[in-house]
Structure 1
C-alpha cells in the first residue's frame, strides 16, 4: 500500500530510496574497484527490501549480529551468513539447527575455551562448524591481538578439534572516533595489516586461513588498498547518520533515514517547539555528543528533507522532543513552526533509531511511500 508523507501518522521512520541506493552503489563500486568481496552487515536495517537491494548491487552473503537475524534472512532465501558475534555455548544448538537446514553459517570465537566448546559440541553432534577467529586490530572491543600467542592456540583448538578454521575477522570500531581523512586512512591500513598479519601467522603454523574479513563503514571508505583481504563488511553506510557525518564519510545529503514528526506545542519564552518524536522514536543514542559537532538527538529538516541549519532536537522525553535553535529569537518559534508543522529529524545512529520502529516507510522519488517490515529481538 502506498501513501504520502502528508497523510502519514507520526512519528514514523522514513527511508529516502534515492539516497539509500546511492549509498549502496557507492560502497559496492568501491569494493569492486579494490577487488574484494563485500558482505554487508544487516543489523542496521533488519529489513528484507534493503538487504535485497544490497545483494542486487553485487554484495555476496551477509553479516548478522544475532541468530534471529540469521534465521530470518535464511528463511528469505539467503544462505551465506556470518554471525559476527562471539559464539556463546548456549547458542550452539540454534547454530547447529540452521546448518542442518542448509544455512552456510559461519561462527566466531576469540578464546581457547570458546573454541574448545565449539569443537566439543560439533564432534558430539557430528557437525563440522566453519569458525572464524576474531582479531583485535585497534583495541576497540573484542578479539585476539594479531601477535598474541593465543591466536595459534585457538587455531589449533579448532583445526585439531575437527572444526573448519574458516579464517580471521576484525572490526575497526575505533574508526568512529576519528574525523580526518588522514587518520581514517591510517586506521584502515592498521586494520588491514593486522588482520592479514594474523592470517599469515596461522598459515605459517600450518593452519588453514582462507578468509581475511575486515570492516567498518569509515575504514571501508578510506582504505588505499586491501592487499591480502578477501572480504569487507560494513553496515551503517546503507543509511548513514550524523555520527558518520561527523566522522567525515558522508554529508547530511547522504543520510537516508529520518524520523517524520509533528509540532504539537510551543514554549515561546524558551524558544522551543514541541514535537511528537521523543527518545522512544529517536533512541537514547547521543553518539555525536563527544564529537566536534553535537546534534542533540538529531538534526531538524523540513518535511521535504531540507536541513534547517542550527535547529536540532535538543532534548527528548519519552514521547516529546524539543526543537530549538541557539541563534533564533524565542518569539520566532511559533511563526517558524506553527502547530501541525511536519519536520524530519536525521538520527545520530541509524541502527539505534531504526530499532525503535516495527516498520520503515520507503519514500520514492515521486513522494510515494511503501511500508517495509523491520524485525526486532534476539
Structure 2
C-alpha cells in the first residue's frame, strides 16, 4: 500500500480478536452482547460480528439504524433519547425491524403512542452516575407515569431499563471501574426487583467499554452494549481497558517538514483527521496521539513520541532524539488515536493492512 495522505489503517486480526474476546466473556456469564456500532459504522465490520453469532446491535441515531437495517440487521436499539421530530423515520423502521427506542419523559411516550403506526420496544433511560441523560433510579413517580402510558398503548412494549456508565471514562484501573459498575448494577437490580412483578420479562442493559473490558463478572445485567472495544484507543489504554497492542487502528500521516534542533516534525494530520480529543501527560500538557512506526506487518509498539499540537490540517509531533534521527521529510508516521470513534467518524473510511478499503456510513 502506498501511503501519500492521512490514512486510517485497520488491523483486521486485532479487530476480530477484540470481538471474539468480548463475545466469549459475554457468553461465559450468560449475558447478551449487543455491540454499539457507532465506532466502526461499517457494514463490513458489522458482518464480522454477525459471523460470530451476534444478532442484535446498538446504534446512536435513527439514520444509523436505517443504514444497518439495509444490511439485514433486524433487532436494533437506538441508544439515544427518542427525537419525536423523526416520527417518519421511526414508523418506516418499525415496519422493517424490531426497533428499540429510549425514553426518559412522559411527553415523548405520549407522542409515540399517538403517532406510531406499528409497535416498538421501549427502554427507560436511567442515570446511574454519568449525569448526561436519564432518570434517577429512585424517581419512581416519573417511572410509574411512563410505565402507565406504555401499558395504555397497544403500540408500545416495555423492554426494560438502560444505562450508560460514561463516567468510567473519567477513572483509571480495574478497581475504580469495577466500583462504578457495581454501583450501577445495584441500582438496576433494585429497579428490576421492584418492577418485575408487573413486567416479568423486563431486562436491564448496560454499555460502556471500560466496564465490559475490566469487570470480571458481568452476570448482574441481561445485556452489554460496548462499542469502542472493537478498535480500542489510547484513552482506553490509559484507563486500563486494553493494552496498546490491542488497539486495532492507527493513523498513517506523511511528514512534511522537520526541525532537527527541537526533534519535532509536522505531519499532514490535524483536527479534521483526529478530532480534538486529548489526554494529559504527567506534566499536565495535552497530547492528541502517540507514535508508532509502520512496518510491513502493521506497526510497532508505541514509542516515546507524541502528537502535541493540532490545527486544521497540521499536526506537530515531538519525537525522542533517536527516533527523530530516522524520520525524514517524506516519511510516514503512525499515530495511535486518543479516541478511535471520533477519528473513524471524521475520516469516513479506513483501509485494512491487506489494502482493502472499508466504507463507513455516508454522512
Report TM bin, short chain.
Answer: over 0.9
Equivalent position of 1:310 in the other structure? 304
Equivalent position of 2:30 in the other structure? 35
Provide the rounded CA distance (Å) in 1 between the counterparts of 2:284 and 2:339: 14
1:246–1:293 Cα contact (<8 Å) kept? no
Is residue 2:196 matched to residue 1:198? no
Is residue 2:345 matched to residue 1:371? no
Q: Offset of 1:334 from its aligned partner?
A: 5.6
Unaligned runs of 5+ in 1: none
Provide the rounded CA distance (Å) in 1 between the counterparts of 2:285 and 2:183: 28
Q: CA RMSD in A?
A: 2.0
Provide the rounded CA distance (Å) in 2 between the counterparts of 1:107 and 1:228: 22
Spell out, residue by residue over 1:306-345, the C-alpha distance to the aligned partner (whole angstroms, 9 max, x if none).
13432011111111111103xx45xx67623111111110
Equivalent position of 1:188 in the other structure? 181
Provide the rounded CA distance (Å) in 1 between the counterparts of 2:265 and 2:362: 31
Unaligned runs of 5+ in 2: none
1:167 to 151, 157, 160: 160
Provide the rounded CA distance (Å) in 2 between the counterparts of 1:33 and 1:239: 22
TM-score of the pair, normalised by structure 1: 0.89
**Cα 1:290–1:113, aligned 2, differ >3 Å: closer, same or farther?**
farther
Q: Offset of 1:154 from its aligned partner?
A: 1.3
Provide the rounded CA distance (Å) in 1 between the counterparts of 2:174 and 2:284: 17
Provide the rounded CA distance (Å) in 2 between the counterparts of 1:20 and 1:155: 40
Spell out, residue by residue over 1:249-305, the C-alpha distance to the aligned partner (whole angstroms, 9 max, x if none).
11111110111111110133333111111111111112x238998661101110121
1:361 to 346, 351, 354: 351
Spell out, residue by residue over 1:6-27, the C-alpha distance to the aligned partner (whole angstroms, 9 max, x if none).
x133200111111111111111
The count of residues paired between Structure 1 and Structure 2 equals: 358
1:66–1:83 Cα contact (<8 Å) kept? yes
**Cα 1:47–1:215, aligned 2, differ >3 Å: closer, same or farther?**
same
Q: Offset of 1:234 from its aligned partner?
A: 0.5
The 3-state SS of whatever aligns with 1:69 is helix
Equivalent position of 2:114 in the other structure? 120
Spell out, residue by residue over 1:90-137, the C-alpha distance to the aligned partner (whole angstroms, 9 max, x if none).
11221111111x211111101122222222222xx3x22211111111
